[in-house]
Every structure is written in C-alpha cells, then in structure tokens.
Amino acid sequence: MTFVFRNLEMLMTSNHASVVSMNLFVALLCACIVIGHLLEENRWMNESITALAIGLCTGFVILLTSGGKSSHILVFSEDLFFIYLLPPIIFNAGFQVKKKQFFRNFITIMLFGAIGTIISWVIISLGVTQFFRRLDIGSLDIGDYLAIGAIFSATDSVCTLQVLNQDETPLLYSLVFGEGVVNDATSVVLFNAIQSFDLTNVDPTIAFHFIGNFLYLFSMSTLLGVLTGLLSAYIIKKLYIGRHSTDREVALMMLMAYLSYMMAELFYLSGILTVFFCGIVMSHYTWHNVTENSRTTTKHAFATLSFVAEIFIFVYVGMDALDIEKWKFANDSPGTSVAVSSILLGMILVGRAAFVFPLSFLSNLAKKTPNEKISFKQQVTIWWAGLMRGAVSMALAYNKFTSSGHTHLRGNAIMITSTITVVLFSTFVFGLLTKPLVRFLLPLKQSGSAVSSDPGTPKSITMPLLGGGLDSELDLGVTHANNLRLLLTTPTHTVHRFWRMFDDSFMRPVFGGRGFVPYNPGSPAEPNGE
C-alpha cells in the first residue's frame, strides 16, 4: 500500500538537478503560453504545434549542451501521462462539451468512435502485417501487429480541438470531438484487450469474448462516471456547501472527478470514459447546484488544468523526439525506418478513409432533413481532422515497445522511432494544413446549415439543428398539447424529449441542475449551460 509515496519520497530527495529541470520545464510552459498567444492570429499555427516546436528546439539545445547524450530533461512515463495529464483533459472535454449537440449526434458519434476505430484498427493491423513482413525489422508477432493497429487508431483529439471552432462549425466540432473521446477510449480498451488476451491460438470464440469484454467495459465505465457525477450533485445539493465556502464546493468537484477516474482504474475499467461521462453529468447537474463564483471558477479552472496538461504533453513529445538512444538502431538502416513510417502514415490515411466515408453514408441514410446530413466536404474535413496522432499513440507505443523508457530490441526501437516520426509528421504537416483546409471548406458551410440564423451569440448557433427552438432553455414549461405535437418530429428529437421529461420530473428534483439555485437562472454567466 505504501508503494506510490515511498517512491515519491525517493523521487523528491532534494536533488538539485531535479530542481533545475523542474525550473526549466515550468519556464518552457510559460514560454509556450506567451508564444502561443503571440501566434494566435497566425493562420497556420496552433498551440500544439507551437509547444511541439518549442520542445524540439529545447531538445536540440539540451542535446548540444549535454554533448549529444540526452535531449530531454525527463523520461516519458505512460503512467505520468495516464494518471496525471490525461484525466484533466478528458474531464474538461466532458465538462465543456455542448451536451445537446453531443447527444443529438450520439449515434453518429458512437458509429465513428467505436465502429470506426475498430475498422481503422483492422485495416492498419492487416496492412502492417502485409507490408512489414517484407521489411527486415526484427521479430514482431501477431500481438505486436494488433497493438500497432490500436496505437495508430488513436487520434489526437487535443490537437484537433485547437483547429476546429465549436461556434463556427458546431456539427463538425461535436462529431470530431465526440469521436475523439470515444476513439481514445476504444483504442485504449482495444490495446488493453490485446495485451491481456492470449493471441497465440486464435479461435472464433475470442471475437465474442472480445466484444463482450468491450461492451462490459464501455457500459460499466459509463455507469460509474454517471453515478459519481450524480453523487457529487446530490451531496452538494443536499448540504448546499456553498453557503459556507466556495472553495469547499470546488474542491469537492475536483476530488470527486478525480476519484471517478481512479475508481475506474481500480476496477480495471476505462478511466477515460468514466471521467468523460462524470464531466457531462457534473456540468448538467452539479454545476448548477453551486454558487455563481464556483461556476465561474470550475469552468475556467478545469479548462486551465486541461490546457496546461496539453502543453506539457506536446513540449515533452517535442523534446523526446530528439533522444539519441532511440535513433541508434534507426540510423543503421535509415531506409527501413523511412519505409515503416511511410507505410504507417499511408495506413492511417487509408484506415480513416475506410470508415469516415461509409459510416457518413450510413449516418446520412437515417437523417431526413438535408441540414442534418453530413455533406461530402464535411466528410473530407472529418477525415482530415482525425489524421493527427499524438500523446495517446506515444503513450501506448512506449507501453508496448519499451521497458522503462528504453529500447533494446531492433524491432522495438524502429517502432518507437517510427511512432515519433508519425506523430511529428502528422502533427506538423496535417496539423498545419487543417486550418487552411477548414477555411477553404468553411465559406460554403457558413452559408449553409449551421451558422445562418443568428451568428451573434454562441447559444443560438445550435438552434437550427434543434428543429426551430425545440428544447431551448425557454421551453421548460411547455404545455402538454405542445408536447404531443413535438413528439411527431424526428425520432432523435423524441428520445431527447422523453429524456427531458424524465429529467424534469425525476432527476432534477433529486440532483438539482439548471434552475435549482435561484441565482438568476438564465443570466449571461451560464453560457456553456447545456
């Protein structure tokens, strides 16, 4: 039981070198924020690319000063990433997501996020199995190939979000963003499933085991997140903690969000999914039960933590990319490395195309109005926006192909360097081209469905997609006759309607939510309300 902190102690024994490296790292993070701000207006750059570039430069300087020994001031740990950096990012994603958009497009998002990721995984795994056999890259077995598929199916939602704008392109944003979260979870679940299953003797029942395992993880993780979120709402509503202290409310929300993630880890579930749904429930119920000050604080504090964690990851990935040790093996056969990276990039392009276009077609079949359909240009944007690979891929690759951050076998070393190459190339090249691409496709979109009605306020932008004011903040007291008429609209709307009725009659009296505390409900202080 004393494991973590006994090590923390070893970790922190007043070593002056560690103080130097912490100083340097914190200073770099500050530099990233300032430079990222200065480059804000630039049409090519975004914060991820800035942080990555700063990391690369610093790595280069450290490489020179240390005489070519090391390029980074810290060793990457997938656990540092999964336990400290990822939870705030994903929780904030759930907390800030426009819930109406998310649930309106829930089926499409699940199609892309779960089925799409599995399609991409199969294609990448099959592709690398075919191509890598012809290259001389050491011993990789079927488990390795499947793991590679999972590693390169994990899109970098962090980088994507900085390119797309929730207000300008709400449909695209919610699709790409929602897909990103489900995709993260799916890749990690897939990856862990591959690691734990015995893949030497594959038989037909394994697929069923696998699907069962996946569904179990998905449903239980979601349930745990929802329950923790509801518990926090109930506690804060019952005790009305803000009466005494805003800080206590904020602390409780933070701790319970983190607790949901750790509990998921405790029960071997997907912490990413749990904390994402915990974030959604907290923003729907808990957030409305706290004081005005707590609302502002939580909204911005969670966003800030997420922001810092993102920058941290990108600075690190940039620094780590120049690590000499990893490139030793790759240097022996530069042709092989280039070939492996190119194959991987190609498979990523093909794997993503193979699900975005067919699934968009399927999704469009179910939609009735042309406004709700995903146009071809939007499909291209969705395809392109999910091509970047980032920290999740890095973390999984490190987990799979290294022991304690070091590369020993030739095959493993090449896979690590290829992962770094793919991450750098996709983030820089695909990432730099995304903003111009969206701008190129956007003018057509802007005159189309989403932003036409009222571009003045963020809230009303979502209105055209809601069937003319349906489910807006103002219809809490609609009449029964009105209800009946509305039930005759599209099925998604009906489901949403029933949920609203259930929410208003059962959930809100118990767990609070919008309108619970009479702190001017509907004031401009609640712009991300729902």
Footprint on residues 63-92 left by its own copies (CB under 8 A): 66, 70, 72-77, 79-80, 83
**Are the C-beta atoms of 523 and 296 separated by less than 8 Å?**
no
Residues 206-245 that bind its own copies (CB under 8 A): 235, 239, 241, 244-245
Q: Does 307 bind its own copies (CB under 8 A)?
A: yes
User: Of residues 129, 195, 213, 296, which one binds its own copies by CB under 8 A?
Assistant: 296
**Are the C-beta atoms of 309 and 80 separated by less than 8 Å?**
no
What is the rounded distance in angstroms from the CA atom of residue 373 to the CA atom of residue 350?
23
Q: How many residues bind its own copies (CB under 8 A)?
A: 79
CA triplet 502, 276, 386: central angle to 5 degrees? 120
Nearer to its own copies, 19 or 207 (CB): 19
Q: How far is the CB of 70 from its own copies (least distance, A)?
A: 7
Q: Does 7 bind its own copies (CB under 8 A)?
A: yes
Task: Identify which range of 116-124, 130-138, 262-270, 332-340 contacts its own copies by CB under 8 A.
Answer: 262-270
Nearer to its own copies, 255 or 429 (CB): 255
Long-range contacts of residues 259-264, Cβ cutoff 8 Å, at least 24 apart = 259/228, 260/224, 260/225, 260/228, 260/229, 261/87, 261/91, 263/224, 263/228, 264/221, 264/224, 264/225
Nearer to its own copies, 205 or 404 (CB): 404
Nearer to its own copies, 227 or 308 (CB): 308
Residue 496 φ/ψ region, left for φ over 0, alpha for ψ in the -120 to 50 degree band, beta for the rest: alpha
Q: Please tell me whether residue 203 adopts helix, strand or coil conformation.
A: coil
Q: How far is the CB of 306 from its own copies (least distance, A)?
A: 8
What is the rounded distance in angstroms from the CA atom of residue 376 to the CA atom of residue 484?
35
Q: Which residues contact 434 (CB under 8 A, 6 or more apart)?
A: 160, 163, 384, 385, 388
Q: Write out the two tokens for 123.
A: 């294609």
Nearer to its own copies, 26 or 202 (CB): 26
Annotate each residue in 15-34 with x if it binds its own copies (CB under 8 A) or - if it does not, as one string. xxxxxxxxx--xx-xx--xx
Q: Does 457 bind its own copies (CB under 8 A)?
A: no
Would you give the DSSP letter of residue 167? T
Q: Does 8 bind its own copies (CB under 8 A)?
A: yes
Q: Please tell me whether residue 375 adopts helix, strand or coil conformation.
A: coil
Residues 265-294 that bind its own copies (CB under 8 A): 265-266, 293-294
What is the rounded distance in angstroms from the CA atom of residue 256 to the CA atom of residue 228?
7
Q: How far is the CB of 522 from its own copies (least distance, A)?
A: 18
Nearer to its own copies, 290 or 339 (CB): 290
Q: Write out the two tokens for 14.
A: 């007043």
Q: Does 248 bind its own copies (CB under 8 A)?
A: yes
Task: Identify which range of 165-173, 257-265, 387-395, 495-503 contacts its own copies by CB under 8 A.
Answer: 257-265
What is the rounded distance in angstroms from the CA atom of residue 400 to the CA atom of residue 187?
13
Q: Does 36 bind its own copies (CB under 8 A)?
A: yes
User: Of residues 44, 133, 207, 247, which one binds its own copies by CB under 8 A?
Assistant: 247
Residues 349-408 that bind its own copies (CB under 8 A): 404-405
Q: How far is the CB of 512 from its own copies (least distance, A)?
A: 16
Would you give the DSSP letter of residue 406? B
